[in-house]
């Protein structure tokens, strides 16, 4: 499919295809918008079934990053990178360094960081070839992993969603289903457990699932069963496009708020959730904590207290967004898109 006719193409500023025969690198970098600043977005390493599937993912994810940065009040645009490879078997230092050279070729218009399939250690290797990398270990030795900050932002978003969707200010006894208990999902589960929530967990990694369920006294279910769980809230924290024609109809939860990017399989799912009386929290608003932390890491005046206050502003944004959506009779996803596009000049 030609790029400019692709359904996910949204007047992206630049899309770069990169190949390095020696390392086996096959990568795509998409820069969606740079109105507010350089495009920041993670590097996803995944064994896509086809080049078209990889292109679809990187176009959607980069657009979401523009919206995320705008809604988080950051001086950044949106971008994303993908490498078509299995992160468990194909990832080598040579491949990562080749990716670093590809990022460097953009001259700072794109800043990469860790994402699904890539790690802080991988960013250190990429940084051998380019300075345009976020999420690195700081000089004092503290980890640059943004996952805990993403989880805290989702937790702040979740509290706002519970207030507006369920009419309650506490989480004690709230039943929450978490789909995906990797770095972010596990941190979120611990925050919720500490707040008194009852958890239903799932993950394709059975060992990680069992370990966390035992630690938190949570119920563990098979991945497909999570959509049928009798819960108040569903937190998608794995891959995207999980809210589709089938799963939306099965939900018992009255609120959706999670860390996964691109949770809606199609924009129409936002309307379907609203029609079913389910409050959807726009994913790129809820999961902005990590990008806020990475943006602050690049500042000379990094201050942890200021970072946490900025992240907690996610809840404040949603306290504005949810009532506006209700007043206008629109889904929160539609209103969030409009607010973001106003901020980066495409409204």
Catalytic residues: 80
Token pair for 130: 């380019």
Q: 111 near 79, Cβ under 8 Å?
A: yes
Token pair for 65: 């990053």
Kind of pairing, strands 14-20 and 25-33? antiparallel
DSSP 52-107: HHHHHHHHHHHHHHHHHHHHTT-S-EEEEEEEES-TTTT--HHHHHHHHHHHHTTT
CB atoms within 10 A of CB 215: 12
CA within 13 Å, CB half, 53: 12
CA within 13 Å, CB half, 180: 20
200 exposure class (CB count in 10 Å sphere: 0-12, 13-18, 19+): buried
Closest CA to 278 of 222, 220, 322: 322
Closest CA to 284 of 133, 81, 63, 109: 63
Eight-class DSSP state of 8: T
- What lies within 8 Å, CB to CB, of 268 at 6+ separation is none
CB atoms within 10 A of CB 316: 11
- Phi, psi angles (nearest 5°) of residue 193: -60, -45
Closest CA to 157 of 225, 212, 236, 213: 236
């Amino acid at each position: 499919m030609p790029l400019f006719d692709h359904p996910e193409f949204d007047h992206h500023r630049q899309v770069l295809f990169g190949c390095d025969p020696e390392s086996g690198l096959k990568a795509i970098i998409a820069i969606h918008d740079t109105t507010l600043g350089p495009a920041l977005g993670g590097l996803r390493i995944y064994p896509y079934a086809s080049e078209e599937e990889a292109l679809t993912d990187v176009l959607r994810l980069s657009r979401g990053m523009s919206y995320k940065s705008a809604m988080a009040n950051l001086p950044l645009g949106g971008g994303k990178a993908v490498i078509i490879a299995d992160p468990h078997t194909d990832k080598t230092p040579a491949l990562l360094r080749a990716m670093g050279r590809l990022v460097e070729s953009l001259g700072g218009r794109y800043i990469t960081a860790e994402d699904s399939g890539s790690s802080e250690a991988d960013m250190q290797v990429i940084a051998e070839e380019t300075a345009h990398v976020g999420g690195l270990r700081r000089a004092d030795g503290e980890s640059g992993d943004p996952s805990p900050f993403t989880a805290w932002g989702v937790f702040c978003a979740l509290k706002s969603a519970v207030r507006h969707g369920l009419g309650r200010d506490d989480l004690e006894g709230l039943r929450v289903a978490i789909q995906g208990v990797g770095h972010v999902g596990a941190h979120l589960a611990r925050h919720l457990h500490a707040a008194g929530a009852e958890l239903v967990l799932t993950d394709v990694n059975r060992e990680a699932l069992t370990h966390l369920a035992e630690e938190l006294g949570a119920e563990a279910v098979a991945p497909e069963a999570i959509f049928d769980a009798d819960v108040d809230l569903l937190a998608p924290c794995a891959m995207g496009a999980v809210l589709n024609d089938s799963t939306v109809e099965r939900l018992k939860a009255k609120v959706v708020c999670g860390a996964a990017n691109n949770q809606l399989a199609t924009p129409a799912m936002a309307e379907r959730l609203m029609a079913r009386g389910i409050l959807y929290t726009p994913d790129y608003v809820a999961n902005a904590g990590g990008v806020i932390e990475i943006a602050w890491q690049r500042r000379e005046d990094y201050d942890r207290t200021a970072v946490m206050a900025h992240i907690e502003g996610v809840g404040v944004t949603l306290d504005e967004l949810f009532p506006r959506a209700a007043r206008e009779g629109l889904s929160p996803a539609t209103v969030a898109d409009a607010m973001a596009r106003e901020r980066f000049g495409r409204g």
